[in-house]
């Protein structure tokens, strides 16, 4: 039963996952002719449903254009990526991959990484895709090869992939789900306060029933959970303890049948949840990127505050990571030599 509840609580990301799984499984190349149109419709539908249902977590004050661009680039990346692995012609697969790269470069730009966007386009679409195309042209046999029209264990492969995806999404959801039970807790507190408005002792029981104090998942636990949901909140432990203490006083007041005390206790709790809510929204606001990314990695970088983006990245690369950059350069050289040596034919090696 609790498992069903768990699923019902998370249907908004389980539904697109299941639909996407069906679409990918059906569309992976296989001997049987797939229901292409139907499966493609299901797949696109699952992406659209995910876009509408998944908590967007954007927080307040995000411009609409930003949201729209993000959604467009994400949808493009996801759909083009799916098309790449489903494509039976490797030339088209490489072109779809180029589209994935362009879409992710758009996402890079949105996250204030313009240098990386340009570098990725140059390296991937400029160099890697072209090399892939060369090899495809060199090795491609006429028409579509049989092995391109079959895949190994399409059901198990897509099942494994979607289990992995579900795990990743679950981790993100558990970590960053912003709303949780806070609004529900506040509603119940509000109801209890209004029930106790008259100050009659007879209303204490129903009011406490609203707060579900003493149930399997107690009000205290939920409140403490809410306090812990904001990572790195300096007042977290203090506020959690305060919430537990307030609930205990509420129970004592209820035992004394003092409606006024219970009511003021509930109001104090409500004021505390106000603070929780403020901490939540502040946390969500902090998650957004400020206008300029200020470098603060090393003393070398810190010497030049307010330097521009490329300057900061350059200082990080050629200051903090100088050895790594040299190593990467050596690695590239070795890889080039290795590629040339590997592709040499036996006869040429001796000549």
Partner 1 sequence: MSGPAPHNSLIVGGVLFCWGAIGFVARRNLIVMILSGEMMLQGVALNLVAFGAHFRSFEGQAFIVFMLTVAACEAALALALILVLYRQRRSLDVSVWQDLREPGLEPVVDLEPLEEAHPVVVPVAYPRLTPAGRRPVPVPPSIPPLPEPAASTPTSQPPGEEARG
**Binding residues among 70-129 for partner 1 as defined by CB under 8 A:** 70, 74, 77-78, 81-82, 84-85, 87, 89-90, 93-94, 97, 100-101, 104, 107-108, 110-113, 115-116, 119-120, 123-124, 127-128
Please name which of 120, 130, 119, 116 lies closest in space to residue 100, comparing C-alpha atoms: 120
Q: Are 254 and 265 contacting, i.e. CB atoms less than 8 angstroms apart? A: no
Q: Which of 53, 66, 198, 326 binds partner 1 (CB under 8 A)?
A: 66
151 binds partner 1 (CB under 8 A): yes
Q: Which of 14, 15, 18, 54 binds partner 1 (CB under 8 A)?
A: 54
18 binds partner 1 (CB under 8 A): no
Q: Are 200 and 250 contacting, i.e. CB atoms less than 8 angstroms apart? A: no
Q: Which of 8, 139, 174, 202 binds partner 1 (CB under 8 A)?
A: 139
Q: Which of residues 276-315 bind partner 1 (CB under 8 A)?
A: 284, 287-291, 293-297, 301, 312-313, 315
Q: Which two tokens stand for residue 208?
A: 């406490």
DSSP state of 125: I
Helix pair angle (90-110, 129-139), 10° resolution: 170
User: Least distance from C-beta 179 to partner 1, angstroms?
Assistant: 13
The Cα 204–Cα 182 span in angstroms is 23
Q: Which two tokens stand for residue 255?
A: 């035992």
Residue closer to partner 1, measured from CB, 86 or 243: 86
| Residue 93, CA atoms < 13 Å, CB-side half-sphere | 13
Q: Which of residues 330-349 bind partner 1 (CB under 8 A)?
A: 331-332, 334-336, 338-340, 342-343, 345, 347-348
Using CB under 8 A, count the residues that bind partner 1.
119
Q: Which of 44, 136, 244, 268 binds partner 1 (CB under 8 A)?
A: 136
The Cα 290–Cα 38 span in angstroms is 43
The Cα 145–Cα 327 span in angstroms is 40
Please name which of 298, 18, 29 lies closest in space to residue 169, comparing C-alpha atoms: 18
Residue closer to partner 1, measured from CB, 252 or 339: 339
141 binds partner 1 (CB under 8 A): yes
User: Least distance from C-beta 235 to partner 1, angstroms?
Assistant: 22
């Amino acid at each position: 039963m609790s498992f069903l509840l768990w699923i019902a609580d998370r249907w908004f990301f389980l539904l697109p996952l299941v639909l996407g799984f069906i679409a990918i499984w059906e569309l992976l190349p296989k001997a049987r002719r797939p229901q292409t149109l139907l499966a493609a419709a299901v797949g696109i539908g699952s992406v659209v449903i995910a876009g509408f249902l998944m908590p967007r977590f954007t927080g307040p004050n995000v411009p609409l254009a930003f949201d729209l661009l993000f959604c467009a680039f994400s949808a493009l990346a996801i759909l083009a990526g799916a098309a790449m692995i489903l494509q039976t012609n490797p030339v088209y697969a490489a072109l779809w991959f180029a589209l994935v790269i362009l879409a992710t470069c758009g996402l890079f730009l949105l996250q204030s990484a313009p240098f990386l966007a340009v570098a990725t386009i140059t390296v991937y679409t400029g160099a890697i895709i072209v090399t892939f195309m060369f090899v495809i042209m060199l090795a491609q046999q006429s028409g579509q090869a049989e092995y391109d029209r079959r895949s190994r264990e399409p059901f198990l492969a897509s099942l494994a992939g979607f289990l992995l995806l579900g795990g990743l999404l679950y981790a993100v959801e558990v970590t960053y789900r912003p709303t949780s039970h806070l609004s529900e807790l506040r509603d119940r507190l509000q109801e209890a306060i209004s029930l106790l408005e008259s100050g009659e002792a007879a209303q204490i029981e129903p009011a406490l029933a609203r707060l579900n104090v003493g149930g399997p998942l107690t009000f205290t636990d939920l409140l403490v959970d809410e306090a812990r949901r904001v990572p790195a909140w300096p007042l977290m432990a203090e506020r959690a303890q305060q919430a537990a203490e307030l609930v205990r006083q509420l129970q004592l007041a209820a035992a004394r049948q003092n409606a006024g005390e219970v009511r003021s206790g509930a109001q104090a709790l409500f004021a505390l949840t106000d603070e929780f809510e403020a901490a939540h929204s502040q946390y969500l606001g902090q998650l957004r990127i400020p206008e300029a990314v200020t470098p603060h990695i090393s003393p070398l970088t810190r010497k030049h505050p307010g330097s521009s983006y490329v300057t900061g990245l350059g200082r990080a690369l050629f200051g903090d990571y100088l050895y790594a950059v040299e190593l990467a350069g050596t690695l590239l050289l070795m890889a080039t030599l290795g590629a040339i040596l590997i592709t040499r034919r036996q006869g040429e090696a001796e000549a």
